[in-house]
Amino acid sequence: MKKIKKILFILCSFALMSCGVKCETCHDKHEIKCTRCNGVGIANCISCGGIGSQMCYACGGTGNVMQMDYVTGGMRYTMCYQCGGLGRRNCLSCGGAGRTTCTTCHGSKKIPCPDCEQE
């Protein structure tokens, strides 16, 4: 079975070379569809994983922060001023959308072909 696959590969390679095509992956276009965004140009945000929100850094996700109580002189828990007590806030990288311009192709939807020889 391995010999048959090898023979087919050699025959297909020869056929491609005879018609002038050198690279089987991109057919000599020297670029392929981006593998990260699947050729869309937009991908899930790396910072939030596509959720659109992140744990609040001010309260550590609890929704409460320790604050000085000037009346009693002690400390007390109050609602977090950053997230409003939710424990999460909009992702700073994507603004809550969950998606950003693809960092691999930078929105161009294409990447260089990994198989052909660039000159």
What pLDDT was estimated at residue 97?
A: 94
pLDDT for res 6: 52
Amino acid 26: pLDDT: 82
Query: What are 91-118's pLDDT values in tens digits?
Result: 999 999 999 999 889 999 998 888 875 5
Q: pLDDT higher for 39 or 16?
A: 39
* pLDDT digit string, tens, across residues 36-88: 898 899 999 989 999 999 999 999 999 999 988 888 888 888 999 999 999 99
Specify the pTM. Answer: 0.54
Instruction: Assess contact for 54 and 29: CB atoms under 8 A.
Output: no
Q: Where are the domains of the chain?
A: 1-52+91-119, 57-87
**Single-letter code of the amino acid located at 52:** G
Q: Is residue 95 within 8 Å of 5, Cβ to Cβ?
A: no
> For residue 46, what are the CA distances in angstroms to 2, 7, 31, 54, 83?
41, 43, 24, 11, 21
22, 116 contact by CB (below 8 A): yes
Backbone angles phi, psi at 70, to 5 degrees: -70, -15
Question: Is residue 13 over pLDDT 70?
Answer: no
For residue 43, the model assigns a pLDDT of 92
